[in-house]
Amino acid sequence: MRPGLVFVLVCLSVFLLEFAECQKDANTKSKKQNAGGKVKLTNKKPKSKPKVKKVAAKKLARISIMTQLLQQGRFQKPSDTLVIAAGENLLLRCKGKHISWAYPSYLDEENDDGRFSKMTADSGINHRGRFSQLTVANSTGADTGEYSCWALDCDAETCRRDDSKTGSTYVFFTDPRELFVPANDYYMAIQLRTDRPTRLPCQVTNPLAKVSLHREYPPELIPEDGKLITFDVKKGFVIHKALPLFGGTLYCVASYQGLRQSSTKYLLIFTYYPSARPAATIEASSSSVHAGVNFNLTCTVLGETNIDVDFTWEFPGQQLGRPTYTVESQQSVYAGGQAVQSSQSVLLVDEARPIDDGLYTCTAQNQQGATSVSTRVNVLPRTGPGRQ
Ligand SMILES: *[C@@H]1O[C@H](CO)[C@@H](O)[C@H](O)[C@H]1NC(C)=O
Ligand SMILES: *[C@@H]1O[C@H](CO)[C@@H](O)[C@H](O)[C@H]1NC(C)=O
């Protein structure tokens, strides 16, 4: 009845369980969870050994709890994909006392279009004791997307997700005038990161529409090759390997029965992104120096090319304002037959003093995180004048 009753669970143990299952069951359905209220979890499940889990997962039969109301008033398990003409109603039910739902987030938006946010509308979630019902009345192409539900196991205080009882279907609401699911923005900036695939949503309202990917300038078709670039009618285009040549403004074109439309424009910004934190090493020119002698420390990171590394230093004389200098450099080197980037910071200490004695720490940082390495330098008493 009220959208406020929708339980949205975000809890760690559920994620863990889900993750473990997901690896076993390729058919696991959407993991979409709306961000929202948190439910406190007092009863954390103890970690079980993977072996035990495997057996448990095999026994755990997945029960589909979702049904769809058909025209004759019958309820039937929905197929993975439903195609419904825009304007018609969708009614899904999920069996269970406590049910949580996920659906296109746009339905919750607090504007005229977000029909789930208004209590008066015919659309929304309705909990009715032994089942929960989701209704999308007077549908539009914008309602296209994944609809899923899952049962919750609740005690007096908390609820947890029961992954054996779920249901999910992807619904296309075909709109003869709108081949693309309307987007909020005319232009969307997306980072084309070197460390992961990039997705251009290009969501269509009709699974039969032919969709292609295009560059704005110079105008050209970017072919879907099934490897570097793939298309899935539910996910859109995925660029699996970020290359600088894919940067720029791209858009999708959908065509169906003589209608041809362009999607939102995607501004792809090519970004080198490290795949891991930097691995740093530190070396002192000498681990013990006599007072008055110059010494230095070298912090080195061998890593991916084109990744900037920031160095910071902590050292004994720092608080006392001991003047020191750093010299930073970057160069390409070959390691293991591969070009890698060597980034270095050298901390120079002139004329060692007793306050320079102690621990020197270098912290190397990139976008994935930081690592610190330390080494100790002993400052020995000044040598006699006879030395020089
Ligand atoms: C929604 O659909 C119902 C019939 O199912 C119709 O009576 C009503 O006018 C429609 N509302 C809008 C806003 O189109
Ligand atoms: C660091 O110290 C060593 C040994 O004194 C010296 O050979 C080297 O040139 C120094 N490095 C820099 C960058 O000054």
R_g over Cα of the chain: 30
| pLDDT, one tens digit for every residue, the chain (388 residues) | 343 333 333 333 333 333 333 333 333 333 333 333 333 333 444 444 444 444 444 556 778 889 999 878 889 999 999 999 999 999 999 999 999 999 988 787 766 666 776 655 578 888 888 999 999 988 889 999 999 999 999 888 888 988 889 999 999 999 999 999 988 788 999 999 998 999 999 999 999 999 999 999 999 999 999 899 999 999 999 999 999 989 999 999 999 999 999 999 999 999 889 989 999 999 999 999 999 999 999 999 999 888 899 999 999 999 888 887 999 999 999 888 888 999 999 999 999 999 999 999 999 999 999 999 999 999 999 876 644 4
What is the Cα–Cα distance from 163 to 4, expressed in whole angstroms? Answer: 23
User: Is residue 101 within 8 Å of 156, Cβ to Cβ?
Assistant: no
User: What architecture is the 63-174 domain classified under in CATH?
Assistant: Sandwich (2.60)
What would the CATH number be for the domain defined by 187-271? 2.60.40.10
Q: Taking CB atoms and a 6 Å cutoff, what residues make up the pocket around ligand 2? A: 285, 296, 327, 346, 348
Instruction: Give 164's contacts (C-beta < 8 A, 6+ positions apart).
Output: 60, 61, 62, 63
Atom of ligand 2 nearest to the CA of 327: 13
Tokens of 247: 């940067």
Per-residue pLDDT of 364-382, as tens digits, reads 999 999 999 999 999 999 8
- The residue whose CA is least distant from atom 3 of ligand 2 is 285
Most ligand 2 atoms within 8 A of CB, residue of 286, 296, 346, 347 to mutate: 296
Distances from the Cα of 3 to the Cα of 169, 185, 211, angstroms: 20, 26, 35
Nearest Cα residue to 262 out of 187, 190, 207, 198: 187
- CA dihedral sign, ordered 105, 108, 110, 113: positive
| Ligand 2 centroid to residue 125 C-alpha, Å | 71
**3-state SS, residue 279:** coil
Q: Which atom of ligand 1 is nearest to 138's Cα?
A: 1
Q: In what order do the strands lie in the sheet with 358-366?
A: 288-290, 369-380, 358-366, 310-314
Whose C-alpha lies nearest to ligand 1, atom 2? Answer: 138
* Residue ranges matching CATH 2.60.40.10 in the chain: 63-174, 187-271, 280-380
Which amino acid, one-letter code, is at 98? H
Q: Which helix (H) or strand (E) holds 246?
A: none
Q: Which atom of ligand 2 is nearest to the CA of 348?
A: 14
Structure tokens at 283: 């070396």
Q: How far is the CA of 369 from the centre of ligand 2 (A)?
A: 29
Containing 55, the helix (H) or strand (E) segment is helix 50-59
Nearest bound ligand to the CA of residue 349: 2
* Closest CA relative to residue 249, chosen from 213, 199, 215: 215
User: What's the CA-to-centroid distance between 284 and ligand 2, angstroms?
Assistant: 9
pLDDT at 22: 35
Ligand nearest to the CA of 297: 2
Q: How far is ligand 2, taken at its centre, from the CA of residue 326, in Å? A: 12
Residues 138-173: pLDDT tens digits? 888 999 999 999 999 988 888 898 888 999 999 999
278/319 Cα distance (integer angstroms):
27
Predicted local distance difference test score (pLDDT) of residue 16: 35
| pLDDT of 305 | 87
Kindly report the protein residue whose alpha carbon is nearest to atom 12 of ligand 1.
138
Ligand 1 proximal residues by C-beta, below 6 Å? 137-138
Q: Which of 285, 293, 325, 344 to mutate to test the pocket of ligand 2 (most atoms within 8 A of CB)?
A: 285
CATH no. for 280-380: 2.60.40.10
Q: With pLDDT > 70 as the criterion, what percentage of the chain qualifies?
A: 81
pLDDT in tens, 320-360: 888 879 999 999 998 888 889 999 999 999 999 999 999 99
For residue 326, the ligand closest to its alpha carbon is 2
